[in-house]
Amino acid sequence: MDLVGITRKQGNLSRGDIDRTLHISAPGRELHADPDAPFAAMFRAGDRSYNPRTAGQNEYWEAIQRSDITFAFGPAGTGKTFIAVVCAVQMFQQGKFDRIILVRPVVEAGESLGFLPGDVREKVDPYFRPLYDALMKMIPGDRLRKLLDRQIIEIAPLAYMRGRTLDNAFLIMDEAQNTTAGQMKMFLTRMGENSKAVITGDLTQIDLPRRSDSGLLGIEYILEGIKGIEFVKLKNSDVVRHPLVARIVGAYDRLLKNTADASGDAAQETGEALGKLPEHRGKPSSTSND
């Protein structure tokens, strides 16, 4: 929908409407649909509907529909996790899958949670809050609690998937950049009959002690050409949070690129990039009135 159409529908324009329209119209991100309704609603919950808001998000949603395994790479705020959860809930409610399983590698706890107090859910809840938040937007609280209690919707650390075969399930692995190669292989081989998987990650936010250990690095090279697997790369233009988020992500991207160009080495992490900058104390220069 163009700005005129948005104004007619809403009666006014927000800065976000303008930014999103400019992003959607950017070169190389052309739409392939009716310009008055570029993206069909993915899911309705009560009086709210959820639909892709950028061309990249629409490409991601379509990949999930047609593929058995979809990898989504992209910066914060591009909807990687939310769109995966929306698709999972939609397909579950359509009867295509019997359950939804959401996992994350719990790097902060070293994937070993025995030293933390409480049961498993209490231990991992802080790490899975974004997944709960997404589910709660689409499923009423009482029903969500019942589905969680019956393990029809399961949220667990990645380590708890070992040794299982998951049939008739929609699987989501979030923050996949923090898996090792072995963990990535383990997760991908959990799929049973009539299952679908979405793996999301951001290669600029690897929290492992050694970046090179990430199971998301090189995964496209390993799995290239395998039927039923797709890779989607979301960009800064797909960020749909506060407009400042896209600009902040862009600023960090420029930092990594500029320090790599200046040194001749790839600055893989923000910390490494900052370490290559000239010392800057940030003190104002003193002046004298004498």
Which positions ≥6 away from 152 have C-beta within 8 Å?
A: 98, 99, 100
Q: Higher confidence at residue 88 or residue 287?
A: 88
- Token pair belonging to 265: 């080495």
- The residue-averaged pLDDT of 30-46 equals 51
The CB density around residue 62, as the number of other CB atoms within 10 Å, is 16
**Could you tell me the two tokens for 53?**
């808001």
CB 102 within 8 A of CB 148: no
H/E stretch holding 137 reads: helix 120-138
Name the CATH superfamily housing domain 55-263.
P-loop containing nucleotide triphosphate hydrolases (3.40.50.300)
DSSP letter assigned to residue 159:
G
- Asked whether the predicted pLDDT for residue 95 surpasses 80, the reply is yes
Is the Cβ–Cβ distance between 157 and 131 less than 8 Å? no
Identify the bridge partners of residue 232 per DSSP, sorted by sequence position: 72
- What lies within 8 Å, CB to CB, of 119 at 6+ separation is none
Mean pLDDT of the chain: 77
> And the tokens for 188?
């991908």
Alpha-carbon span 22 to 156, nearest angstrom? 39
pTM of the model: 0.72
Q: How far is CA 155 from the centre of its chain?
A: 16
Structure tokens at 87: 């698709």
More confident residue, 99 or 112: 99
Residues carrying CATH 3.40.50.300, the chain: 55-263
pLDDT at residue 288 tops 60: no
